[in-house]
Amino acid sequence: MIPITEFKGRDVAVFGLARTGLAAARALTAGGARVHAWDDNDVSRAAAEAAGVPVSDINARDWRSFAALVLSPGVPLTFPEPHRVVTLAEAVGVPIIGDIELFARAVNALPATQRPKLIGITGTNGKSTTSALIAHILSEAGKDTRLGGNIGAAILEQPPLHAGAYYVIELSSYQLDLTSSLRLDVAVYLNTTPDHLDRHGDMTNYVAAKKRIFLNQGAADWAVIGVDDPHCARICTELTRNAAQHVAPISAGQALGRGVSALGGKIIDGLSGRSEIVADLTQAPALAGKHNAQNAAAAYAATRALGVDHRIIAQAFNSFAGLPHRLERAGTIEGVRFVNDSKATNANAAAQALAVFPRVYWVAGGVAKEGGIEDLAEFYPRMAKAYLIGQSAGDFADVLRNKVPVVMAGNLEAAVKLAFNDAKASGEPHPVVLLSPACASFDQFKSYEDRGDQFKTFVAALNEAPKANGAKAGAKK
């Protein structure tokens, strides 16, 4: 844990008692603050109390007594309208911050020689893989590395701050909206496609939140930014023109005169202005696909900026195991391969998975994001059949009508069984059943992780079924 001493002896409200809220409450308490934690959910409050977090109804308190409101990133700050606790805090001038801001202030309070290195990663897609890959490279290089933020443990649950440590922090737009003091030694902004517009109002606000990752950077710091979409390309041009920090453009679609490119399965380092092939991604099984090529280019640029030798980076690419629920191999049964890409919660993320395989039996559906699956038209020829589940099934079926054969599976278990039977009967040499839902999970599952875990459970059950049937046949004899 990282104790937060800034509010020692003062009252602090913490609202939202999921992973980051609980960590913030514990870190503030360890630093001597009087914490008043609350959540609208009865179950969350009970869990917090069981974990020793002091719970009190902040709605009934005089808000002028609070030194700050620490807000969970999942709580609406601005759109579609501010949560009532935001309105209460703003009415009396109470600062509204998040757990990343608490962390940033704790780092800034240290003497410069005692501060750890901070690497932050954001983007619509790929930030979890890129964060984990950067952490893996740094660990392989012998660095004292901690991975947290929007991935894994909350940032304030990490071991205490000290010089020589490297904190790799995945940052969502929600977290960045609540952060103003964070200065990153390396800030990575991968890409931008429409997402979370219900929380940001429009693309302008969404991009502005993401762009906050570069706040406070100075001449010694590095901005690593993808240039394969127009939003990030414009920001890269702006950063280069302003020359406040070093800028490393990265691309998986074009050769860059000065930057890092991922083309034809090769990582090409042109940061010095002289291009050199430094890694072969065809030897890295967990980094298949164009989207992972961009992730690898970003991770290469970020770790090179931190002084890691390019040979260590290349070796680390090959040993990287990948992330659960992102093009995760879920098994092969009777020649049918199953791939768990449950983390693909929007069409753009699903497109990245669909681009990897020439033909798939596609399991999709859930709570659709804005735009649905209209942007996946170029991949329709790759879909042998679509097995639709969840809330969006009807709308997706309408979009796919007369373009892709559709099965209204209803739920994931049925979809897995139906896709397996069709793939097995197809006669194709290596058929692939791909769960890449292009949707959020909350209509039928607790989270995308729960969805992916259930997919793997249903796949494993297919493997057990023949054994069970064989046992029954043996018993009859």
pLDDT digits (tens, 9 = 90+) for 135-164: 999 999 999 999 999 998 999 999 999 999
What topology is assigned to 100-319 in CATH? UDP-N-acetylmuramoyl-L-alanine:D-glutamate ligase (3.40.1190)
For residues 123-128, give the mean pLDDT. 91
Q: Take residue 133 and report the two structure tokens written for it.
A: 């890959």
Residue 99 CA to residue 450 CA, distance in Å, equals 25
Beta partners for residue 198, in sequence order: none
Please report which confidence band the pLDDT of residue 125 belongs to, taking 50, 70 and 90 as the band edges: confident
Annotated binding-site ranges: 123-129
What are the boundaries of each domain within the chain? 11-97, 100-319, 328-463
Q: Take residue 171 and report the two structure tokens written for it.
A: 């940052």
Domain 11-97 homologous superfamily, CATH: NAD(P)-binding Rossmann-like Domain (3.40.50.720)
Q: Take residue 449 and report the two structure tokens written for it.
A: 């992780």
Average pLDDT, the chain: 94
Above 70 in pLDDT, residue 470?
no
pLDDT score recorded for residue 464? 80
Q: 269: which residues sit within 8 A by CB, 6+ positions away?
A: 260, 275, 276, 277, 278, 300, 304, 310
Annotated binding-site ranges for ATP: 123-129
Domains 11-97 and 328-463 share a fold: no
Q: pLDDT tens-digit profile of 366-422?
A: 999 888 999 999 999 999 999 999 999 999 999 999 999 999 999 999 999 999 999
Residue 19 CA to residue 353 CA, distance in Å, equals 29
For residues 283-303, give the mean pLDDT. 94
Helices assigned H by DSSP within 64-98: 84-91
Encode 194-229 in three state secondary structure.
CCCHHHHCCHHHHHHHHHHHHCCCCCCCEEEEECCC
pLDDT score recorded for residue 182? 98
Name the more confident of 457 and 197: 457
Residue 43 CA to residue 177 CA, distance in Å, equals 27
pLDDT score recorded for residue 468? 53
For 355-475, strand residue ranges (E) read 360-364, 367-368, 383-389, 406-410, 432-435, 439-440
pLDDT score recorded for residue 469? 57
Neighbours of 446 (CB within 10 A): 11
Residue 398 CA to residue 451 CA, distance in Å, equals 24
What topology is assigned to 328-463 in CATH? Protein-Tyrosine Phosphatase; Chain A (3.90.190)
Q: Which of 92, 1, 121, 102 is nearest to 53 (CA)?
A: 1
Residue 356 CA to residue 5 CA, distance in Å, equals 48
